[in-house]
Amino acid sequence: MNARAPFAGVGDETFALASSVPASSWHDGLIEDGSELLAEEVPVALVFNGISHAVMLASPQDLEDFAVGFSLSERIVRAAQDVREVEVEAGPHGIALAIDIAPGAMARLKATRRARLGQTGCGLCGIDSLAWFERETELDDPRDGGVHETGSPFTPQALQRAMAAMAGQQRLHQATGAMHAAGWADRDGHLLLVREDVGRHNALDKLVGALARAGIDAGDGFALVTSRASFEMVQKAARAGIGLLAAISAPTAMAVRLADRAGLTLAGFVRGGRHVVYTHPRRLRPDAVAHGT
């Protein structure tokens, strides 16, 4: 039943990105039996130096990016260079990401490790107290890269151009209708990186990892997400040094407060030639000089 082509899984192993399932569709009173292509979500264990740290439900592609981005977003490592190797190990029940991190990073992880079970759409799984929540919402940790100013402001046209281009690069979403995406665009709004996943948090982690692995300064452009902007999406962007996060849907009030504290420009409802800026509008100026067409 797995639809392995064109959505191949991990190497020659058992995991496809999408599967065809029997389904009946109803339209204008008519019922038609057929099949539907559905996105897969697979348990992915993140194992650091032999110690299992988290199990997330994720789409089984761009997993090396996911490993690096998760490690950075969770402050397990301070830099991508602290992730020395990632091995993708597929088994009968899921995928294990064997992540080899530097000794210093492993020492910090052991000091703060807690049991976590991640689910798609869950940003605080495994946090067992309000004290943990307070820690997770802090952005002034010395390990955080923080948001910094780089270059001139972005134009609203660049923001709209990038979001309009997102749909054309969401190949899995076009096929299944069930995927989130996170993208990164340059100052002219040219979309250079897109990562997809059934989980919006995972998609952003994959994007952060892709930027870090490519050696791209995240502050030289801006990030876009095809979801609402919750506080943890803002948190991940700020920790990656992204100065502008644009969401196709609304933010939460907590996300706005966090973005304001972090110095991050947060825009929502970015679609159809419209957007709303909630924090630090200095990075989005109609009179900013575009760098290209």
Domain boundaries, the chain: 42-136, 156-283
Q: What is the mean pLDDT of residues 51-61?
A: 94
Contact (Cβ atoms closer than 8 angstroms) between residue 73 and residue 236:
yes
pLDDT of 110: 84
Per CATH, the architecture of 156-283 is what?
Answer: 3-Layer(aba) Sandwich (3.40)
Give the C-alpha separation, 46 to 254, whole Å: 28
Contact (Cβ atoms closer than 8 angstroms) between residue 271 and residue 247:
no
Contact (Cβ atoms closer than 8 angstroms) between residue 239 and residue 75:
yes
Contact (Cβ atoms closer than 8 angstroms) between residue 152 and residue 287:
no
Q: What is the mean pLDDT of residues 126-136?
A: 54
Q: What is the pLDDT of residues 147-188, one digit of tens each?
A: 666 668 999 999 999 999 999 999 999 999 999 999 999 999
Rg for the chain (alpha carbons), in Å? 19
Q: What is the DSSP letter of 106?
A: H
Q: What is the bridge-based pairing of β-strands 30-39 and 18-27?
A: antiparallel
Q: What is the pLDDT of residues 28-47, one digit of tens each?
A: 999 999 999 999 999 999 99
pLDDT of 100: 98
In degrees and rounded to multiples of 5, residue 234 shows phi and psi of: -60, -45
pLDDT of 288: 63
CA-CA-CA-CA torsion sign (123, 127, 130, 136)? negative
Same fold, 42-136 and 156-283: no
Please identify every residue annotated as catalytic: 122
Per CATH, the architecture of 42-136 is what?
Answer: Roll (3.10)
Q: What is the pLDDT of residues 245-261, one digit of tens each?
A: 999 999 999 999 999 99
Average pLDDT in the chain: 86
What is the value of pTM for the model shown?
Answer: 0.87
Q: What is the mean pLDDT of residues 213-228?
A: 96
- Binding residues, by number, are 269-274
pLDDT of 117: 43
